[in-house]
Chain A
Amino acid sequence: MKNWLKSLRIRGGVHAEERKDATLELPIVSSYPVANKLYIPLQQHIGKAAEPIVKVGDIVLKGQLLAHSQGLISAPVHAPSSGVITDINFYPAPHPSALPIRTIVITTDGKDQWIERIPVDDPFALEPEEISARVAAAGIVGLGGATFPSAVKLNLGRQHKIHTLLINGGECEPYLTCDDRLMQERSDAIVDGIRLMLHGMEANIAKIGIENNKPQAIKAMTNACLPYDNIEVVTVPTRYPMGWEKQLIRFMTGKEVPAESRTTDIGIVMHNVATAYAIHRALRYAEPLVSRIVTVSGNATKRPMNIEVAIGTLISDIFSICLTDKETTARIVMGGPMMGEALPHSDMPIVKATSGVLALTLDEITVAEEEACIRCASCIQACPVGLLPVDMANLIRSNQLDSAVNIGLKDCISCGSCSYVCPSHIPLVHYFKYASGELVSRQQAQHKSEQTKKLADERSKRLEKIELEKEQEAARRKAEKEARDRAKAEQEANEEQGAAV
């Protein structure tokens, strides 16, 4: 009854076909030879790109700092394996656009030799500030996919005196099982990471939300939490997008994050389970974030896997390990099928955000023709945010982007629930992403024209001023001349008078 009442808190969402069976039972594979070349983009996080401190020809060890963070919101990048830096240049980013992104290329030596790691004896003896400093130095970002620098979040949590740390073990995307396996196999390490985060944020309570389709993960995590009264596992219903931060917060705490605010405003911070694990590695073993667990799946993959991959490994290298058939691959997706990005080719690196790589066959992707909207309102019922996808799409189609913003375009989280349920197969999310991009470029254009106008205005003001000064100068001269003439005339008159006298 209580659970049923709590489930009323979740709005919208879809029961997406899970398709997790292929990798559900497969233990994480860590032992495979590291790839010959690693491509490490300098921007794998939200914020400013990291700045390289190595140069071509340098010999680096695994875990060595390659590029340091720039500014407040940024993250450093470390060498995922030992070898030689062979290039620092622009390479295609793992993004549908494949636009070039600054990348460090390491030709590995195969030894995978670690730099000297000096762990602290007792991280709990460290000051909380030191915890976030070490998390920042380890280059840890939100591994759920948002890639927000974790240290910034820890600092925010400490500054806002949060009361609860929520851990996201939702993994609501179809296919993906990497968090599930991580929770099953490394639960103690995750719980240790959670305790370190609590220490770093000076918070007391942590709750781990896990979808009820992962009974083994729930069991493992519950056991790992047993010694700690302040950490608790909460079973959440399986309903995409349960892993959306704000949805999970509403289900687990009953609170709603106000729009245009951060979760810290209501005393909550949320981190992903994989992030907790990375923090554990960073503080207990002094290991920076140089690898992550990736689910490789999709029907075109003959040997699907949960694999711990060095950051920078090309997807094509992973595909050859997993025996992915190029012929039957209709679409390569990085991330889950709901929110993941379709990649144009597989010569792109695994980055910190990559939770999965899917080689999908034609059967798995919907290729149905778009039909007329019959206003069935399925999209409205499916929207977890409470938006009107059908109306937004219609406004965007008629180029009324501002009206679309007025009815909530900016609150859209691109979760894809609307497109998923649409019986007319209207690519709603595509419209919303287009509109968001278009709005940004319009804003930039407007900013540019404002700047130009400002400069032009300033110039004309300057010219006017010069003109005015000229006029004043002329007037002054004229006045002076007149005064001189008058003086001269007077003088002459005086002289004449004098002569006359």
Chain B
Amino acid sequence: MKIQPISGPHTGAKGHVSGIMQQVIFALIPATMFGLYLFGWPAINLFVITLISAVAFEYMCLLLANKPTMTIRDNSALLTGWLLAMTLPPWAPWWIGVVGAGISIIVGKHVFGGLGQNVFNPAMLARVALLISFPVEMTTWANVNPIFSSQAPDFIQGLHVTFMGLEQPDAYTGASVMGHVKTELLQNHLLPESLNGVYQQPQAWLGFMRGSLGETSALLLALGGFWLLFKGIIKWQIPFAVLSAVFVLSSVFHWIDPSHYMSPWLHLSSGALICAAFFIATDYVTSPNSAIGQLVFGFSCGCLIFIIRTWGAYPEGAGFAVLLMNAMTPLIDHYIKPRIYGRNRKGLPLESEQ
């Protein structure tokens, strides 16, 4: 019998880090598959390249840091790569995926000390860095051409798009809904006319529109999000706070001036909002620990997303909002702590009452 002078508990729940990561990946599958279907071979190429590079960079970093490389099996790098790929323009060139994976794994994660130590969400850090550095590639949105449809590139053409670039970009690409709205508003075109024919409700919810590789289908992303809630992987606080903040703010402004402010449904159904609310802002490492802290964090994220979308220079603000709030997480955790039993919020013993 091996003697271990270990304290209790002598039993434990059977969960593992890798199990959590697997569940998140599982929840991402429907939206991802739909995105790959919509945007065809170039999207599949980009997706595979991003995932492989993320895992490769992780392996390299672990080797360099003299850490056990077995931890690569925790799937965390795979998930980071996956999330990054989902937020990229579907027909982006191959090097966008590689550079993005490098930024997320090396700068976003291992520079801080590896899994659990990073301040910023690695995928969002990479996405924002790419957006600022390569604005053209990062805002070229492919048209919806479902795979095997007549318009869609075949496998060879897909390779060409990924590795050689697009020859006639205007024929295959256009603006995302939010980008379109931003441009039109800048030209003083009012919303009702500019949205005419660009945005249709059912298609938008399902995801038949231009957008990031895995972010177009609000419904499928929400499905994955509810799966994570059901499995207890994420708590309701952050998604609820993010979505309700955006919904309430956009409702108020839309009610005041529907010709300049987008409707709450448009906000919810397009862009990265649902993905950010369920998958990005809920990242354990970079979000606050306490339930109240998570509500504050989520609500602030939602407000920032609305502010950037409405008055900012960029049509989409989820990435910036999450990164800004990531920086606030230590502060939130410092000020918002659970109340200790028998003590008040300041940590002093309660008054005893008979």
Residues on A lying within 8 angstroms of B by beta carbon are 11, 14, 16-17, 96-97, 163, 174, 246, 250, 255-261, 265-267, 326, 329-333, 337-342, 344-345, 358, 360, 364-366, 368, 371-377, 380-381, 383-388, 390, 407-408, 411, 414, 416, 419-425, 427, 429-430, 433
Contact = CB atoms under 8 A, between A and B. Distances in A.
B152 to A, nearest CB: 39
Given A330-B1, A388-B337, A372 B8 contact: no
A433 B17 CA distance: 25
A337 B9 contact: yes
Contacts of B343: 258-259, 411
A337 B10 CA distance: 5
Nearest to A359: B1
A390 B340 contact: no
Contact of B12 (A326, A330, A387, A419): A419
A340 B117 CA distance: 33
B179 to A, nearest CB: 35
B285 A375 contact: yes
Given A258-B349, A423-B19, 15 more contacts: A174-B11, A257-B341, A258-B351, A261-B352, A338-B10, A358-B10, A360-B11, A374-B76, A375-B285, A375-B289, A380-B290, A388-B289, A414-B7, A419-B8, A425-B12
**Of listed A358, A365, A377, A384, residue having the most chain B CB within 10 A:** A377
B244 interface: no
B346 to A, nearest CB: 12
B349 A368 contact: no
Nearest to A261: B352
Interface residues of B, number: 46
Most chain A C-beta atoms within 10 Å of own C-beta, residue among B14, B341, B343: B341
Nearest to A360: B10
A258 B17 contact: no
Q: What is the predominant secondary structure among interface residues of chain B facing chain A?
A: loop
Question: Which residue, A258, A326, A385, has most C-beta atoms of chain B within 10 A?
Answer: A258
Contact of B9 (A163, A326, A419): A419
A345 B2 CA distance: 10
B114 to A, nearest CB: 7
B3 interface: yes
A266 B352 contact: yes
Given A258-B350, A340-B10, A372 B5 contact: no
B340 A374 contact: no
Name the residue in A14, A246, A375 with the highest tally of chain B Cβ atoms < 10 Å from its Cβ: A375
Nearest to B76: A374
A460 to B, nearest CB: 41
Given A331-B10, A371-B17, A372-B116, A386 B340 contact: yes
Contacts of A366: 10-12, 14
A377 B289 contact: yes
Given A258-B349, A377-B289, A424 B17 contact: yes
B12 A374 contact: no
Given A375-B284, A377-B284, A258 B13 contact: no
Interface of B: 1-17, 19-20, 71, 74, 76, 114-117, 235, 284-285, 289-291, 337-343, 347, 349-354
Contacts of B289: 375, 377, 380, 388, 390
Contacts of B339: 386
Contacts of A360: 10-11
A17 B11 CA distance: 9
Given A258-B349, A329-B1, A372-B71, A430 B6 contact: yes
Contacts of B340: 259, 385-387, 408, 411
Contact of B8 (A256, A266, A342, A390): A342
A374 B350 contact: no
Contacts of A377: 284, 289-290
B11 A374 contact: no
Contacts of A17: 11
A202 to B, nearest CB: 15
B341 A385 contact: yes
A367 to B, nearest CB: 9
A266 B10 contact: no
Nearest to A162: B354
Contacts of A97: 5
Contacts of B19: 423
A49 B41 CA distance: 78
B312 to A, nearest CB: 29
